[in-house]
Structure 1
Amino acid sequence: MKVRIGEGASEDEASAIATALAKHLGVDIEVHVGGDDAPSATAEPPETEYPLDDDLGPTEREAALRAEIEDILQGGPEKYRERLSDQGKLFVRDRLDLWFGADGVTFEDGKFAHFDAWHPDSPEVEEYDPNDRLPADGMITGAAEFEGRDLHFMANDFTVKAGSMARLGVEKFLRMQQRALKSGKPVLYLMDSSGGRIDQQTGFFANREGIGKYYYNHSMLSGRVPQICVLYGPCIAGAAYTPVFADFTIMVEGMSSMAIASPRMVKMVTGEDIDMQDLGGPEIHAKYSGSADLVARDEEHARELVAGLLSYLPDKAGEKPPRSEPKPPKYSPDGIDELIPESPNRPYDVFDLIDRIADAESTFELKPDYGTEIVTAFVRIGGRPVGVVANQPIERSGAIFPDAAEKAAEFIWTCDAYEIPLLYLCDTPGFMAGSQVEKDAILEKGKKFIYATSSATVPKQTVVVRKAYGAGIYAMGGPAYDPESVIALPSGEIAIMGPEAAINAVYANKLAAIDDPEERAARERELREEYRVDIDAHRMASEVVIDEIVPPSDLREELVRRFDFYETVEKSLPDKKHGTVL
């Protein structure tokens, strides 16, 4: 507030007036003397002082409540807590401290669930039995800060009936999911559950708001917010669906397992005698089923993996993933041309190429042991998170097998959901042929790969590194699949099939008619070279099939510029409810 006083006032008088008015009115004051534009004195209202101690404080009632909370935090029966160390795992409250720090849990919901049924202070408990403890109903839910990010979390308490799920724990789980739908914050599932509590199934199994609603909510959350699941124990039946519904699943060596039924149930139903690790341990799901994205060495490593993973992901759909400071690549891009063999059939490790394109120490591979003919990994290129789909020539020449196609499709779909641009590094002879891959659904899984590439609306860049044969170029973001660019290295080739197969298909009879073996071999080499001229990158660029041939040493910077330029590209799908392929 400005106040103007007469010209005869002194500076001390102006200051006294300013101070008095600021205190009385509670606003900032400027005092101007006469016609002066500049204030002669200013004052701010004094800060209000509140009494720190008004002689009131906690009563015995609050002390009793704190004692009850402390008792709940001790978990289930002591005998089950003592067994955890033998199993190599932490008590759930210690696990939360590992993840979030001693003060990292923002708040917890439902701590008093089932309090009346077991706690000695409950009027309904006539005789307290420590073996009947059900603190929090074995399910901890709430919110926490993790690596600077707010998220929802749930964690099973394995000391309470082996982390099994019952009515009140299910209610807490469902509320947590439904709140995540509204908040748009990631969800972390710390699973250590033997499944539904069979002897208490009434009221939670088949109800509209029962355990079946878990998977409905998982489906609604899918693509809305990142869902990350870490497995700490033998998750059976219903408990095994949460990890497979999550966007990313991490198992822990020697500790985790998941299966539709326990070994005992399997033997009862099928007669098969098998232990839990062979039925559904980390190796089974990381290598054969593809249900595990990563396998951690121990609990600390699991946390590290999730921290790394979350650094590539936004909080929710529609937001851009977090950028970081750019780093130069691990190895110089100048070595790319020498790295790529001239012969399309000679192997090289595609990670050596990625190390010359991506920012150093930014490669985060998913499903490394599943569908190994394709690499799926998050990287950063100039600080920008990018999802890489790359054929791996050291694995069966980079041919696309059913598992690899399925892995790629799911990865592309996830990247598209969370606005992560895609980079295809194409070097494949195409989809694998043969009776076994037909039995393994190469056509079905291949179409999902092509569908995911077709439907992704994030910016896409495709690099024809070397061979791009058959429908492989379709799945790998070829010219017909709406990439922002298709660029090639000088080693690139695009064709219906490779030279050997093509020559055999077209000239088999003519070559067979040449009696002299040396002459036949020379003619075959000649035909192959003629064919390669017709399919190489220069011919494709000449026909404007591809956008550009890039000097290999410039590939990284070319990708940085193209991803920067197309960052805000707008793409849409036809107006329809959804496709029918995935």
Structure 2
Amino acid sequence: MKVRISEGASEEEASAIAAALAEHVGDEVEVYVGRADDPAAVEAAPEGAAATAGGASAGGSTASAGDDDDLGPTEREEKLIEEIEEILEGGPEKYKERLPEQGKLFVRDRIDLWFNPEQGSAGDQTESGHGNDGVLFEDGKFAEFDNEDQIPADGLITGAAEFEGRDVHFMANDFTVKAGSMASKGVEKFLRMQQRALKTGKPVLYLMDSSGGRIDQQTGFFANREGIGKYYYNHSMLSGRVPQICVLYGPCIAGAAYTPVFADFTIMVEGMSAMAIASPRMVQMVTGEEISMQDLGGAHVHAEESGSADLVAEDEEHARELVSQLVTYLPSNSDEKPPRADPVDPAKSPAGIDSIVPQEPNRGYDMTEVIDRVVDEGSYFELRPDYGEEIITAYARIDGRPVGIVANQPAHRAGAIFPDAAEKAAEFIWKSDAFNIPLLYLADTPGFMAGSQVEKDAILEKGKKMIYATSSATVPKQCVVVRKAYGAGIYAMSGPAYDPESTIGLPSGEIAIMGPEAAINAVYANKLNDIDDPEERAEREAELREEYREDIDIHRMASEVVIDEIVPPSSLRTELENRFRFYETVEKELPDKKHGTIL
């Protein structure tokens, strides 16, 4: 132990102090006077002083009141460290050995990948073999520790971590522990994590790999007030408050499948992920149908047919990369604005927009060619690209500001709005509005699709949801009539009646109840049928068509102040920059009511 006393003390005083302290602390004491480099007195501890000075620690080691750098872990602490290391190893080795065959990481290595990306599972690690730099802390590591059949962490890891520069809550199933199934202690940890997220207002990341509830241990967690059913209550309470992002790493069945569908954004991994209300074995028992897990609820089923998956990742690393892109558009909670980035010019010149958009209303083209000339290069991030493809839902940035894009896609089914696309758009609009992301509508649609099949598929119900979401969104909205906006399509795409901050048109734009061909057939069919001469009839049809198009032309709409402005396509990017900037702080209020009844 080293002690420094004030300048001017004598050697006798230094010796007396050294002797007294050495006897008290049971260790050698060096006493320095003032700023001297050499000690004025050195006194060794008297024999037996440590025992009489009360220096024994609770673990049996001698504790010194001197230099703490000389102290190491006690036996008690060393035992605890060994217990933690055992827990961190997860389930039986035989289950861990199977993971590489499935293309999966062990859950602790997965956590390293997410929160220690530079080191990963082979980098800067603790003695247990797993990195912890990005994990701020873990809760409930000792769950089920005293169980006769020790179940490490009860198969569920929860805690807090830093992800891409922001704090998040997280959970991760350990598939090596009873196939990631859920039981009472793990359920308790999951619920606490969700409830704490409500308090902190920080995002939640679910890394799911669970076979569902542990059937042989269901007493105490299934139907209880604070049981597994509370997951989905908490999901509902968190919905719209903080972003909830779920990544699936395996077949999530029954109760485990609800977390991904309750999440705001769900990413599945190709060939690895699946989710279904029941397993293939149960399906066969109930219905007699024989089906594989991937055909029942694999990534492509939910990305292309159900719409439950927002994105499909190639592997675990790609899943993390997708989420790291996604969060750049999202605030941490509903009280914050989305993060702004440095402005970047579009990938392609806006000067090319007019040459991309055909004048003929029925000719197809790819709307992403327009988007590439409007948004910041590298910022386009499409969600649900393989579901309801006639509507594009994507995040991007304009002048560094995040925007949610809802765009008709004439390259698919002429941009007509089908039920699946309407539902996809409604949910995207709803989520974007919840997290304060302004909306850009790019309209080029013949309207909602007609026919017996779409009526059976609930075109009216799902179209209603899209219109409701657009009506209720309080974020700044800009509507661009790129080409045709027919029927209720102009309503769903936030036309003039839907409180956009602006409705602007390109010179190719048209707004009408229906297109020219349908209108002529509806209004003039009988008169045209009375004309016997085919040439005369064709000439009259052409005249009527031209008259009708003049009536619905964007110039007519601007003249009657239906829209705010017609802009040269080459200036569309600048126009949108200025309008989103100007209306950035606009505040809108909904009528005072409990909530609407549509969604």
- Using the size of structure 2 for normalisation, the TM-score is 0.86
Contact 1:249 1:292 in 2 (8 A): yes
Q: What is the Cα deviation at residue 54 of structure 1?
A: 5.9
Tell me the residue number matched to 1:350.
367
**Is residue 56 from structure 1 mapped to residue 71 from structure 2 by the alignment?**
yes
Amino acid of the structure 1 residue aligned with 2:554: A
Q: What is the Cα deviation at residue 281 of structure 1?
A: 0.3
**Is residue 394 from structure 1 mapped to residue 424 from structure 2 by the alignment?**
no
Q: Deviations over 1:295-323 (max 9, x none)?
A: 00000000000000001000000200000
The number of equivalent residue pairs is 523
Tell me the residue number matched to 1:85.
100
CA distance in 2 between partners of 1:334 and 1:490 (Å)? 14
Q: What is the Cα deviation at residue 53 of structure 1?
A: 2.9
Paired residue for 2:465, among 439, 448, 454? 448
Contact 2:417 2:447 in 1 (8 A): yes
CA distance in 2 between partners of 1:336 and 1:269 (Å)? 55
Contact 2:144 2:150 in 1 (8 A): no
Q: What is the Cα deviation at residue 56 of structure 1?
A: 3.4
Amino acid of the structure 2 residue aligned with 1:291: S
Paired residue for 1:546, among 558, 563, 578? 563
Tell me the residue number matched to 2:357.
340
**Is residue 466 from structure 1 mapped to residue 489 from structure 2 by the alignment?**
no
Aligned pairs (5 A) from 1:261-410: 261-410=278-427
Tell me the residue number matched to 1:123.
none
Aligned pairs (5 A) from 1:135-214: 135-214=152-231
**Is residue 115 from structure 1 mapped to residue 132 from structure 2 by the alignment?**
no
Residue 196 to residue 514, structure 1, CA distance change in 2 (3 Å): same
Residue 451 to residue 56, structure 1, CA distance change in 2 (3 Å): same
Contact 1:191 1:235 in 2 (8 A): yes
Tell me the residue number matched to 1:522.
539
CA distance in 2 between partners of 1:133 and 1:271 (Å)? 38
SS at match of 2:266: strand
SS at match of 1:304: helix
Tell me the residue number matched to 2:498.
481
Contact 1:77 1:133 in 2 (8 A): no
Paired residue for 2:135, among 93, 97, 105? 105
Q: What is the Cα deviation at residue 374 of structure 1?
A: 0.1
Residue 52 to residue 497, structure 1, CA distance change in 2 (3 Å): farther
CA distance in 2 between partners of 1:423 and 1:259 (Å)? 34
Tell me the residue number matched to 1:216.
233
Amino acid of the structure 2 residue aligned with 1:280: G
Q: What is the Cα deviation at residue 57 of structure 1?
A: 2.9
Contact 1:364 1:379 in 2 (8 A): yes
Amino acid of the structure 1 residue aligned with 2:82: A
Amino acid of the structure 2 residue aligned with 1:80: Y
Aligned pairs (5 A) from 1:555-566: 555-566=572-583
Tell me the residue number matched to 1:537.
554
Q: What is the Cα deviation at residue 523 of structure 1?
A: 1.3
SS at match of 1:477: coil
CA distance in 1 between partners of 2:253 and 2:587 (Å)? 43
CA distance in 2 between partners of 1:570 and 1:313 (Å)? 19
Tell me the residue number matched to 1:245.
262
Paired residue for 1:65, among 53, 62, 80? 80
Amino acid of the structure 2 residue aligned with 1:58: P
CA distance in 2 between partners of 1:396 and 1:81 (Å)? 47
Q: Deviations over 1:33-54 (max 9, x none)?
A: xxxxxxxxxxxxx9xxx97536
Q: What is the Cα deviation at residue 518 of structure 1?
A: 2.1
Superposed CA RMSD in Å reads 1.4
User: Unaligned regions of 5+ residues in structure 1, if any?
Assistant: 1-18, 20-45, 119-131
CA distance in 1 between partners of 2:539 and 2:342 (Å)? 54
CA distance in 1 between partners of 2:315 and 2:458 (Å)? 35
Paired residue for 1:426, among 440, 443, 446? 443
CA distance in 2 between partners of 1:467 and 1:210 (Å)? 52
Percent identical across equivalent pairs? 81
Deviates more, 1:507-516 or 1:198-207: 507-516
Q: Deviations over 1:124-179 (max 9, x none)?
A: xxxxxxxx441000000000001111100000000000000000000000000000
Contact 2:182 2:213 in 1 (8 A): yes
Amino acid of the structure 1 residue aligned with 2:139: D
Amino acid of the structure 2 residue aligned with 1:114: E
SS at match of 2:219: coil
Contact 1:184 1:315 in 2 (8 A): yes
Deviates more, 1:500-509 or 1:55-64: 55-64
Q: What is the Cα deviation at residue 86 of structure 1?
A: 1.0
CA distance in 1 between partners of 2:95 and 2:485 (Å)? 57
Amino acid of the structure 2 residue aligned with 1:236: I
Tell me the residue number matched to 1:25.
none
User: Unaligned regions of 5+ residues in structure 2, if any?
Assistant: 1-6, 8-34, 36-64, 117-130
SS at match of 1:376: strand
Q: Deviations over 1:395-442 (max 9, x none)?
A: 011000000000000000000000000000000000000000000000
SS at match of 2:194: helix
Q: Deviations over 1:433-476 (max 9, x none)?
A: 00000000000000000000000000000000000000000000
Tell me the residue number matched to 1:75.
90
SS at match of 1:117: coil
- Using the size of structure 1 for normalisation, the TM-score is 0.89
Tell me the residue number matched to 1:504.
521
Amino acid of the structure 2 residue aligned with 1:72: I
SS at match of 1:380: strand
CA distance in 2 between partners of 1:518 and 1:260 (Å)? 62
Q: Deviations over 1:536-558 (max 9, x none)?
A: 11000000000000011000000
Runs of 4+ in 1 over 4 A off after TM superposition: none
CA distance in 1 between partners of 2:194 and 2:493 (Å)? 35
